[in-house]
């Protein structure tokens, strides 16, 4: 039993790290742009396919795919922002229209991946040596431990950026007071484009890690990650990046522990129970101090 | 087009501006207004007259459906709000414009965004704010949101003035502020023209606004009801009655 629990904790941290990254990128995007990206999960899976293509056709190992994905997805996000958002802000009700638009992007992205990679589940046939490492009394796959280390580094880097650099503070300031950030001379259009690009880059990188941690993915996996991202964002408080990081790890732990203690069918609903519970009990999230106007 | 008899152009100007919310609810209807250089221009009027809307239209936060915004006589209609700092124009809006969960120091540094790479200039600007309001220096590591309403207002003023603007636009600077602090804020504003700063003051506090302004506008229903030198308002009993009628306040002769 102790072994199962220990296993649950280690896996919870690994999976939670991924959830944290999915959540933090979605919450940044919402915080700065006030739009809800339903296509976020598809962006993540696009990252997985990106690593898959690099590996199968160019023999690029996943670790090397990470920086390539970061740069490519950042550029793609930057471009996508200028394609999508100016049209959105011309509508009468941008926030409402954003739901429709990103739902459309989500369907389009999933269909595109289906077209390119068909409906079969894919996995990257890459293994580290040794294949697994002993952690105390249990063995954990090296790929998963590497993924955990990378999520930790990315999270720490992101926190440093947001709390220690002026552009990072400007991003947080835009979340706190979107009008005041313009008054102090920050070009909100460029800042939003940067936030969109950063969130997309994080999604792409997370996708590469998904390919390392989870056995397989397919063109339809995106929705799953979008839902997880929503749970994490709500749990951590809308627009609260640190909250999302912590909530992601907590959610990963809860999910993995549920598989230890609960029958498998029940474990599935833990995520939704957490989401509904949070909305009822703490609508501003576990760490929601609220984003005042 | 230049008229040789014309005086120095207004620092800022609205020319027959219409602003509408939700398509067709007109808040401003052909409003013209000049911010005269070197003095305080006051804007008063009853609630809903469009005072704040006029100021937001001036600063690019609202786009006019008709009419123009001018800076020094040049058309800048549609200029986004973040460009005004470059023209030497700063705004302190009615609602809090601070970043509550950033420190006082970070709030000041963020305001230096447009010249953030010029470190000496940034340090000088931050230092200027601390010199102007020494209280801020003691609080520099505190979260802006943790300070009192008056202290937050001083931070907003210090933050704007640190950028050495030519023109400062103020929207109800003493709303929700304790009376003792209010008086202090009005003394401070009254001293700005002497430092070479042109001021546009939109205010509900008619008494103070009339007292420190050089030129006054009375708005009503999104239009310029009457305007003139503040001294005329105090001399002319007809104007005094008009103000009493429009804004429910009687100016003493």
In this model, does residue A260 exceed pLDDT 60? yes
The pLDDT, as a whole number, for residue B6 is: 53
How is residue A76 written in tokens?
């793609």
Partner-chain contact A184 B109, CB within 8 Å: no
Contact B26, B64 (CB under 8 A): no
From chain B, the residues in CB contact with A181 under 8 A are 99, 110
From chain B, the residues in CB contact with A180 under 8 A are 93, 96-99
> Which member of B84, B86, B98 has the closest CB to residue A180?
B98
Q: pLDDT for A52-70, tens place per residue?
A: 999 999 999 999 999 999 9
In this model, does residue A214 exceed pLDDT 50? yes
Q: Which residue has the tokens 């123009």?
A: B68
Calculate how close chain B gets to A118, using CA atoms only, in Å: 46
Partner-chain contact A185 B86, CB within 8 Å: yes
DSSP string, B31-63: EEEEE-TTSEEEEE-STTSSHHHHHHHHTTSS-
Q: pLDDT for A137-173, tens place per residue?
A: 889 999 999 999 999 999 999 999 999 999 999 999 9
Contact B161, B128 (CB under 8 A): yes
Distance, CA of B15 to CA of B26 (rounded, Å)? 16
From chain B, the residues in CB contact with A182 under 8 A are 61, 80-82
Q: How many CB pairs under 8 A join A and B?
A: 77
* Mean pLDDT within A278-282: 87
Distance, CA of A48 to CA of A16 (rounded, Å)? 17
Partner-chain contact A177 B96, CB within 8 Å: yes
Q: pLDDT for B9-37, tens place per residue?
A: 889 999 999 998 776 788 899 999 999 99
The pLDDT, as a whole number, for residue B49 is: 87
DSSP collapsed to 3 states, A52-99: HHHHHHHCCCHHHHHHHHHHHHHHHHHHHHHHHHHHHHCCCCHHHHHH
The pLDDT, as a whole number, for residue B221 is: 84
Distance, CA of A239 to CA of B209 (rounded, Å)? 39
Partner-chain contact B100 A177, CB within 8 Å: yes
How is residue A152 written in tokens?
């930790």
The pLDDT, as a whole number, for residue B1 is: 43
Distance, CA of A19 to CA of A256 (rounded, Å)? 12
Calculate how close chain B gets to A187, using CA atoms only, in Å: 6
Count, residues in chain A = 293
* Mean pLDDT within A106-118: 95
**Residue B15 β-bridge partners:** B68
Q: What is the pairing mode between strands B40-44 and B198-202?
A: parallel
Look at residues A173, A179, A32, A160 and name the one whose alpha carbon lies nearest to residue B102. Answer: A173
From chain A, the residues in CB contact with B159 under 8 A are 184
The pLDDT, as a whole number, for residue A291 is: 43
Partner-chain contact B80 A189, CB within 8 Å: yes
> Which member of A183, A187, A188 has the closest CB to residue B97?
A183
Partner-chain contact B59 A183, CB within 8 Å: yes
pLDDT in tens, chain B (253 residues): 444 445 678 899 999 999 987 767 888 999 999 999 999 999 998 888 889 999 999 999 999 999 999 999 999 999 999 999 999 999 999 888 999 999 999 999 999 999 999 999 999 999 999 999 999 999 999 999 999 999 999 999 999 999 999 999 999 999 888 899 999 999 999 999 999 999 999 998 888 898 899 999 988 888 887 888 888 877 777 667 767 766 666 565 4
Partner-chain contact A180 B116, CB within 8 Å: no
CB proximity under 8 Å: B 44-73 to A: 59, 61
Contact A177, A293 (CB under 8 A): yes
Look at residues A180, B155, B87 and name the one whose alpha carbon lies nearest to residue A170. Answer: A180
Partner-chain contact B100 A176, CB within 8 Å: yes
Higher pLDDT: A51 or A282? It is A51
From the CA atom positions of chain B, what is the Rg in Å?
A: 18
Look at residues B68, B103, B97 and name the one whose alpha carbon lies nearest to residue B85. Answer: B97
Please tell me if residue B78 touches chain A, with a CB cutoff of 8 Å: no
Look at residues A287, A273, A251, A236 and name the one whose alpha carbon lies nearest to residue A28. Answer: A236
A interface with B, Cβ–Cβ < 8 A, is: 92, 166, 169-170, 172-173, 176-177, 179-189, 289, 292-293
Measured CA to CA in angstroms, residue B167 lies from A108, A133, A276 at distances of 49, 66, 51
Partner-chain contact A189 B86, CB within 8 Å: no
Cβ–Cβ contacts within 10 Å for residue A105, how many? 19
Calculate how close chain A gets to B101, using CA atoms only, in Å: 8
Contact B185, B205 (CB under 8 A): no
Cβ–Cβ contacts within 10 Å for residue B52, how many? 19
Q: What is the pairing mode between strands B66-71 and B74-75?
A: antiparallel
How is residue B133 written in tokens?
């309001």
- Give the residue from chain B lying closest to A176, CA to CA: B99
CB proximity under 8 Å: B 14-33 to A: 23
Distance, CA of B114 to CA of A93 (rounded, Å)? 31
Question: Can you say whether the dihedral through the CA atoms of A51, A53, A59, A60 is positive or negative?
Answer: negative
Partner-chain contact B101 A172, CB within 8 Å: yes
Calculate how close chain A gets to B11, using CA atoms only, in Å: 18
Partner-chain contact B61 A289, CB within 8 Å: no
Q: Which residue has the tokens 């804004």?
A: B247
From chain B, the residues in CB contact with A292 under 8 A are 96, 100, 145
- pTM score, two decimals? 0.91
The pLDDT, as a whole number, for residue A292 is: 39
Calculate how close chain B gets to A286, using CA atoms only, in Å: 17
The domain segmentation of chain A, as residue ranges, is 2-11+24-123+137-221
Q: Which residue has the tokens 């704007």?
A: B160
Please tell me if residue B116 touches chain A, with a CB cutoff of 8 Å: yes
> Which member of B59, B102, B159 has the closest CB to residue A173?
B102
- Give the residue from chain A lying closest to B62, CA to CA: A179
Where would I find the H helices in chain A?
2-33, 40-58, 62-89, 94-117, 142-164, 166-176, 180-183, 188-213, 222-236, 241-261, 264-267, 270-281
From chain A, the residues in CB contact with B95 under 8 A are 179, 293
The pLDDT, as a whole number, for residue B23 is: 67
**Residue B23 β-bridge partners:** none
Cis peptide before B109 (omega within 30 of 0): no
Contact B149, B98 (CB under 8 A): no
Where does residue A267 rank: exposed (0-12), middle (13-18), buried (19+ CB within 10 A)?
A: middle
The pLDDT, as a whole number, for residue B154 is: 95
In this model, does residue A25 exceed pLDDT 60? yes
The pLDDT, as a whole number, for residue A92 is: 78
Please tell me if residue B175 touches chain A, with a CB cutoff of 8 Å: no
Cβ–Cβ contacts within 10 Å for residue A220, how many? 15
Partner-chain contact B159 A176, CB within 8 Å: no
From chain A, the residues in CB contact with B61 under 8 A are 179, 182
* pLDDT band with cut points at 50, 70 and 90 for residue A288: low
């Amino acid at each position: 039993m102790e072994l199962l629990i220990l296993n649950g904790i280690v896996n919870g941290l690994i999976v939670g790290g991924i959830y944290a990254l999915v959540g933090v990128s979605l919450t940044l995007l919402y915080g700065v742009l006030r739009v809800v990206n339903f296509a976020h999960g598809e962006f993540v899976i696009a990252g997985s396919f990106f690593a898959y293509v690099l590996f199968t056709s160019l023999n690029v190992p996943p670790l090397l795919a990470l920086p390539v994905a970061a740069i490519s997805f950042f550029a793609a996000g930057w471009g996508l922002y200028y394609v999508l958002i100016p049209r959105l802000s011309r509508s009468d009700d941008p926030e409402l229209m954003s739901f429709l638009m990103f739902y459309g992007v989500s369907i389009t992205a999933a269909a595109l991946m289906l077209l390119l990679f068909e409906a079969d589940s894919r996995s990257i046939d890459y293994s580290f040596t040794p294949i697994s490492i002993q952690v105390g009394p249990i063995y954990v796959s090296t790929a998963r431990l590497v993924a955990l280390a990378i999520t930790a580094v990315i999270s720490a880097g992101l926190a440093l950026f947001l709390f220690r650099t002026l552009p990072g503070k400007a991003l947080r300031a835009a979340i706190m007071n979107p009008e005041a950030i313009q008054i102090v001379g920050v070009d909100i259009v460029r800042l939003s484009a940067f936030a969109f690009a950063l969130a997309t880059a994080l999604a792409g990188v997370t996708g590469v890690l998904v390919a390392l941690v989870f056995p397989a993915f397919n063109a339809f996996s995106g929705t799953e990650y979008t839902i997880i991202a929503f749970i994490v964002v709500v749990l951590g408080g809308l627009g609260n990046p640190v909250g999302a990081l912590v909530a992601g790890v907590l959610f990963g732990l809860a999910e993995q522990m549920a598989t230890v203690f609960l029958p498998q069918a029940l474990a599935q609903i833990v995520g939704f129970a957490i989401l509904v519970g949070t909305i009822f009990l703490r609508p501003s999230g576990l760490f929601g101090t609220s984003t005042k106007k | 087009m230049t008229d040789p008899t014309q005086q120095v152009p207004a620092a800022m100007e609205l020319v027959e501006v219409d602003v509408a919310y939700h398509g067709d609810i007109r808040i401003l209807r052909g409003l013209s207004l000049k911010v005269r250089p070197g003095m305080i221009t006051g804007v008063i009027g009853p609630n809903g007259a469009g005072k704040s809307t006029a100021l937001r239209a001036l600063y690019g936060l609202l786009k006019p459906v008709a009419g123009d915004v001018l800076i020094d006589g040049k058309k800048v209609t549609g200029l986004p709000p973040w460009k005004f700092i470059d023209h030497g124009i700063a705004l302190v809006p009615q609602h809090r414009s601070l970043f509550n969960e950033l420190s006082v120091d970070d709030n000041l540094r963020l305001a230096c965004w447009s010249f953030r790479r010029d470190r000496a200039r940034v340090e000088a600007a931050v230092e200027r704010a601390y010199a102007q309001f020494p209280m801020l220096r003691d609080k520099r590591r505190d979260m802006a949101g943790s300070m009192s309403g008056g202290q937050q207002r001083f931070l907003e003023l210090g933050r704007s003035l640190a950028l050495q603007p030519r023109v400062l636009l103020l929207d109800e600077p003493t709303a929700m502020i304790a009376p003792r602090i209010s008086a202090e804020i009005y003394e401070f504003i009254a001293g700005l023209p002497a430092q070479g700063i042109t001021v546009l003051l939109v205010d509900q506090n008619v008494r103070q606004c009339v007292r420190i302004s050089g030129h006054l506008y009375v708005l009503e229903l999104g239009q310029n009801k009457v305007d003139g030198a503040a001294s005329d308002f105090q001399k002319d009993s007809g104007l005094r009655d008009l103000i009493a009628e429009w804004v429910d306040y009687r100016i003493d002769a």
